[in-house]
Amino acid sequence: MKKFFLLTIMVLNGAMIWAQPMLKISSAEHDFGKFKEEAGSQKYDFVVQNTGNQPLVIQNIVASCGCTTPEWTKGPIPPKGTGKITAIYDPKDRPGPFNKTLSVYTNSKPEVVVLVIKGEVIPHEKTTEELFIFPVGPVRFESNHLAFTNIKKNEKKIRTMQVINTSDKPAKIEFDNVPPHLAMKANPTTLKPGQKGIIEGTYDATKNQAWGYTTDIVRLKINDIVDQNVYYAVSANLVEDFSGLTKDEMANAPVFNVETKTVELGTIPGSAPKDVEFKFTNDGKSDLIIRFIKASCGCTAVQQGIQGQGIKPGETGSIKAVFNSGSYKGKVTKAIYVYTNDPKNSEVVLMLNADVNQEAPKN
Q: What pLDDT sits at residue 360?
A: 57
CA–CA dist 154, 164 (Å, integer): 33
Q: What pLDDT sits at residue 110?
A: 84
Q: What pLDDT sits at residue 154?
A: 92
Q: What pLDDT sits at residue 12?
A: 44
110 prior amide bond cis, ω within 30: yes
CA–CA dist 94, 148 (Å, integer): 28
Contact 236, 148 (CB under 8 A): yes
CA–CA dist 97, 362 (Å, integer): 64
Please give the model's pTM, rounded to 2 decimal places.
0.67
Q: What pLDDT sits at residue 18?
A: 64
CA–CA dist 332, 323 (Å, integer): 11
pLDDT tens figures, 157-211: 999 999 999 999 999 999 999 999 999 999 999 999 999 999 999 999 999 999 9
Q: What are phi and psi of 18, to 5 degrees?
A: -75, -30
Residue 303 CA, chain-centre distance (Å), reads 33
Which parts of the chain sit beneath pLDDT 70?
A: 1-18, 360-363
Write down all domains in the chain, each with its CATH number in brackets.
Answer: 2-122 (2.60.40.10), 128-239 (2.60.40.10), 247-357 (2.60.40.10)
